[in-house]
Amino acid sequence: MRVLLSTYGSRGDVEPMVALAVELRRRGAEVSMCAPPDGEFVDLLEREGVAHVPFLKPWRSWERPPTAEERHQRVTDFITAQYDTVAEAAEGCDVVVATAMSQFVAPSVAERLGVPYHYVLFCPDVVGGLDGRGFTELFKEPLDAHRASIGLSPVEDVSEFMFTTHPLLAADPVLGPWHGTSRFEVTQTGAWTLSDDRPLPEDLTGFLDDGAEPVYVGFGSMRTVGEEGVRVAIEAIRAHGRRVVIGRGWAGLDVIDGRDDCFVIGEVNHQRLFGRVAAVVHHGGAGTTTTAYRAGAPQVVVPQAGDQAYWSGRVAELGLGIAHDGAAPTLESLTTALGAALTPEVRARTTAMAAEAQVDGAARAAELLLSGAA
């Protein structure tokens, strides 16, 4: 079977699809993947041996989320950036699986080819619309304009067009359970996690070995946290007598002074790192939240956008850490949140739940897709 995977988004939208690709190939499928050409994604797909069909425009080139007034144009731009690439890559494929912003092009590609299409959700809380507005209101106009240009009929229900009525939910059933709705028949597979056996860099290992467990702070692809945000985080962590590991991320976070209690990292094995820290302060992306959960690390989530408010709420509800109220913490608010997360009770809770975490989501999804049961 030939399978095309397509995703246009940040690392949290790319890495799970690579995990699926690995499991599909393990079962004999021929897999290729349309994904952004950002360097870290190129390296990731090459490391795992997944055939990469790059889009022309890097994900980092989308500098900021659109305003409400800009959404129609942004959808048109996303379609332009992807459609030809996906359409060409899908020729001869037996099934198309998509997520993230590929939701605007992959269904039309599959329809034109007459092959099955599957959509992947990474969060159960994204199917209802945005800012109180339904997806048909938000996206129908640019979708219909594009479909007319390729000889397809208008979309009747945009949610059903993008997600299908039977989407896959690639989220841990404890961390992100499906809430149920009559509109969708969801198959929850568990989170799709790419196993990472890479050792940590020697200098990072030396820093970790040279004292008590530090606190990690990083905001992934979020560029909303700058110098003041990292200063607040570092000082809040120091207030608890802890050292700091700073994830540089797409915002380019860095140290604020010359003290040797901070260590800045780029792209490293978070699965291994999070098992060696006292807590993880982060933005609440699905991938980071799940990795910290599986590592048994207490979390302080400072949500910045999108589904991150959902994940911060789940962390708090499950007793895995603290959901910070607001995207821009003060020294006082973050110090308080960290104090609550660094208690023995929270550590005991995270350790116990990590031992029960499901780890075979991508394998289960691959079986469903190849058997036709998805």
- Digit-coded pLDDT (tens) for 223-278: 788 788 899 999 999 999 999 999 988 788 888 888 899 999 999 999 999 999 99
Residue 226: what pLDDT? 78
What's the rounded Cα separation, in Å, for the pair 270 and 89?
32
What's the rounded Cα separation, in Å, for the pair 259 and 346?
29
Does the pLDDT value for residue 62 go beyond 70? yes
Residue 130: what pLDDT? 67
CB of 222 closer than 8 Å to CB of 32: no
Residue 223: what pLDDT? 78
Averaged confidence pLDDT in the chain: 93
Tokens encoding 111: 């329809």
Number of CB atoms found within 10 A of residue 304's CB: 21
Over residues 208-237, the pLDDT tens digits come to: 999 999 999 998 877 788 788 899 999 999
C-alpha to C-alpha distances, 10 to 15, 48, 108, 127, 200, nearest whole angstrom = 9, 18, 22, 19, 23
Residue with tokens 């332009």: 80
Q: What percent of the chain has pLDDT over 70?
A: 96
Start and end residues for every CATH 3.40.50.2000 domain found in the chain: 2-193+359-371, 202-355
Query: Would the pTM count as exceeding 0.75?
Result: yes
Domain 202-355, second-level architecture: 3-Layer(aba) Sandwich (3.40)
What's the rounded Cα separation, in Å, for the pair 254 and 67?
29
Does the pLDDT value for residue 68 go beyond 70? no
What's the rounded Cα separation, in Å, for the pair 297 and 351?
7
CB of 81 closer than 8 Å to CB of 57: yes
Does the pLDDT value for residue 66 go beyond 70? no
Tokens encoding 142: 């640019």
Does the pLDDT value for residue 160 go beyond 80? yes
Residue 12: what pLDDT? 92
CB of 374 closer than 8 Å to CB of 364: no
Instruction: Please list, in sequence order, all residues whose beta carbon lies within 8 angstroms of the beta carbon of residue 155, skipping any fewer than 6 positions away.
Output: 136, 140, 143, 144, 147, 161
Residue 219: what pLDDT? 87
What's the rounded Cα separation, in Å, for the pair 152 and 160?
16
Does the pLDDT value for residue 71 go beyond 80? no
Instruction: Give the residue from 64, 13, 58 showing the smallest Cα distance to 223.
Output: 64
What superfamily in CATH does domain 2-193+359-371 come from?
A: Glycogen Phosphorylase B; (3.40.50.2000)
Q: What percent of the chain has pLDDT over 90?
A: 82
Does the pLDDT value for residue 86 go beyond 80? yes
Residue 64: what pLDDT? 67
Interior CA angle at 356 toward 196 and 347, to 5°? 85
Does the pLDDT value for residue 132 go beyond 70? no
The strand ranges marked E within 235-278 are 244-247, 262-265
Over residues 102-130, the pLDDT tens digits come to: 999 999 999 999 999 999 999 998 886 66
Instruction: Give the residue from 275, 272, 277 showing the smallest Cα distance to 240.
Output: 277
Does the pLDDT value for residue 93 go beyond 80? yes
Over residues 295-334, the pLDDT tens digits come to: 999 999 999 988 899 999 999 999 999 999 999 999 999 9
3-state secondary structure at position 264? strand
Residue 254: what pLDDT? 87
